[in-house]
Amino acid sequence: MVQSVLGSITLGYRPLWGRNRELAGVQLRVAPEPAMPVDAPHLLRTLDELWSADAPPLLLSAETPALLAGLLEHGDAQSPQIEVPGDWLEADTGLQTRVVQAHRRGLRVIWRGDVRHMPPPAPDRPVHRCLLSLQPEDAAAALQAALQQKRQPNAPSTAFLRSPVQPGHYYENIASAALIDHCLDQKHGLALLGWPDDDVLYGHRGRELAPARSIIERLLRAIGQDQSMDVIEDILSEEPILSYRFLTLTNSAALGLRTGIDSLRRGLMMMGYTQLERWLVGQLPHAGTDLNLQPVRQGMVLRARLMEHILDAGIEEDLRREVYLCGLFSQLDVLMNEPLGTILHRLPLSDRIYSANVTQSGPYQPALDLARAMDSADTATVRALRHAHELDTEDLNRALLHTLLSQHVPANAATRT
């Protein structure tokens, strides 16, 4: 039996967030397993066979020069984008030659490095786009330019302070909500790698976040169109705060139920569409509209989906929903501004959910730990956790790839161009 290439690598990921604050692509970090050579052509073929047209576009980031060289040597116009660190390129003339040859074959090469050292624009530049980071002084200059443009939106562009942020590129390590708006809205950057969750949430400090208005409106439209309960449940489960409030309502004295409701599906069955619609309409006046919170929520949903796939070994549907809720509610404390144990104790949830999230124990804890490590692209921690919990390398990598495949990316949000 031929060994799959997915058994010889460790994967991690970070989302790319587009101008509409929706998932626009994914950086997939690839680290070879110790003393195990990686068949680069096999890896590219595997991804090509798995990937679908509406799945998130991939940006492959090799963690060793040898693997990067192999990807460049065999990549073409049908391959994912390949990241090339600028400092590696400067140090290796052989890598420079491979980049030029790969570019001629149509491979989209993404140069990664400091904005001050980005390759100058030129017709023959063998780089498709850049993934740029800002030094502290550059970030300060960008913030000053952003503030001036916000105060004087109708001034001619020549009157604005010069910003180091340039349109049409990816940016990473953007540390504040103000810089998000500058990069994506004012300067028309293509997407941000990662998201400054802490700074975005800091702007809402001291109070519980409201559920997203967009999700409530989608639910109301689905009810109006008499969509199936599966569709209603899927939409509801994309909003952690709304899901929590829904379960709180279904377990309140107002409904007078004799048994506790421990899942969204059971709550929907007990409440019915008419009462659900009335409740959702009541949520609308105080719903949230901050688009910068959307990646925070969607990142939580993505981690919950990954956890679900990690533990998916033929488990029954009710347990699958329980695993998903375990992941979805794992960061309610940062959204609700109170201890997670206090929050979870208000609902009649499984002890397995409480144990994984509060006491870091129980059968769901390994999957929760791994989902958190994989979404930070920390492949060393992923490898250590995988060994500690005795999980199969290929199974874990397939769980991640199938999770990413399940994420639909609209054509106008994708980073395919």
User: Burial level of 166, CB count in 10 A (0-12/13-18/19+)?
Assistant: middle
Cα–Cα separations (whole angstroms), residue 4 to 367, 390, 394: 22, 19, 8
Q: Please check whether residue 60 is in contact with residue 102, taking contact to mean a CB–CB distance below 8 angstroms.
A: no
Per residue of the chain (417 residues), give pLDDT as tens. Answer: 346 899 999 999 999 999 999 999 999 999 999 988 899 999 999 999 999 988 999 999 999 999 999 999 999 999 999 999 999 999 999 999 999 999 999 999 999 999 999 998 887 889 999 999 999 999 999 999 999 888 887 766 666 788 999 999 999 999 999 999 999 999 999 999 999 999 999 989 888 899 999 999 999 999 999 999 999 999 999 999 999 999 999 998 666 666 788 999 999 998 889 999 999 999 999 999 999 999 999 999 999 999 999 997 556 888 899 999 999 999 999 999 999 999 999 999 999 999 999 999 999 999 999 999 999 889 999 999 999 999 999 999 999 999 999 998 876 665 655
Closest by Cα among 278, 376, 289 to 11: 376
Note the pLDDT of residue 2: 45
Count CB neighbours of 137 within 10 A. Answer: 10
Note the pLDDT of residue 317: 83
- Domains of the chain are 1-204 (3.20.20)
Pair of tokens at residue 409: 């990316």
